Copies of this chain bind each other. A is one copy, B any other.
Amino acid sequence: MQIAFVVYPGMTALDAIGPYELLRSMPQSEVRFVAAKTGPVVTDSGVLALGASHSFDDTPSPDIVLVPGGSNGTVAAMNDEALVSWLRAVHPTTTWTTSVCSGALILAAAGLLAGVPATTHWVCQEILGSMGAIPQPDKRIVRSGKIATAAGVSAGIDLALWLIGEIHGPDQAKRAQVEIEYDPQPPYDAGHPSKVTPELLEEVRAKLAADAQKPPVTSASW
């Protein structure tokens, strides 16, 4: 089972790395990080680079595709013809096509979410709807046929755990869960927009809007 994580400049690392750390423990699985060409891809911090291990051309038939979001890279990725046309080309033969956070907007840009119930980061729900998907703002994971979308960033961890259960059953999911000791004990209960004050939510919304304006860094410093 080949699992392809799409990487692009300005992506959010945890969107991909959370699911990767679970999915890679599945039996007979091969993980790869894919982009137009191999080599470093700088994420939305402008500092952290992840390496693309394989090109789109070398990855014509992945079983699972995961598209991460990115605070300042999503729009460019939506307009990246190589990325979007690869998604369109491989989707018909995937077992699962998935996204985390604003990665759903990239699936939508590829035309894969027309009329499809889906979720995304809370800040992107409205635009997801405007692109023809049916937003499910209160859902952390939304499955629609073989498409599965997750809410913001850390929701990808829950998505991956759920996906392992779908593919290999609960025992394999539990093995993966205890391997990464995913027994969450957040010291605050502020992970959903409904759980924070409107003022705090507006502050975060303003920060995210400002972050989105920064041009993605397109080459590593080394």
List residues of chain A with CB under 8 Å of any chain B CB: 12-14, 17-18, 20-21, 24-25, 31-33, 38-40, 45, 47-53, 101, 121-122, 140-141, 151-155, 157-158, 161-162, 165, 170-171, 173-175, 177-188, 190-193, 195-196, 200-201, 203-204, 207-208, 220-222
Contacts and interface: CB of A to CB of B under 8 A. Distances in A.
A183 B137 CA distance: 13
**Copies, count:** 2
A20 B31 contact: no
A181 B51 contact: no
Contacts of A53: 47-49, 220-222
Most-contacted residue by chain B among A51, A162, A174, A181 (CB, 10 A): A181
A187 B171 contact: no
Given A49-B50, A186-B184, A179 B208 contact: yes
B221 A196 contact: no
A195 B183 contact: yes
Contacts of A18: 14, 17-18
Contacts of A31: 45, 47-48
A129 B213 CA distance: 49
B186 A222 contact: no
Contacts of A196: 174, 178
A140 B175 contact: no
B200 A187 contact: no
A14 B221 contact: no
Contacts of A171: 200
Contacts of A203: 175
B204 A190 contact: no
A191 B187 contact: no
A195 to B, nearest CB: 7
23 contacts: A12-B21, A17-B48, A31-B45, A33-B48, A38-B221, A38-B222, A51-B51, A53-B221, A152-B179, A152-B181, A153-B179, A153-B180, A154-B181, A155-B181, A157-B184, A162-B187, A173-B187, A174-B196, A175-B207, A177-B188, A183-B192, A183-B195, A184-B184
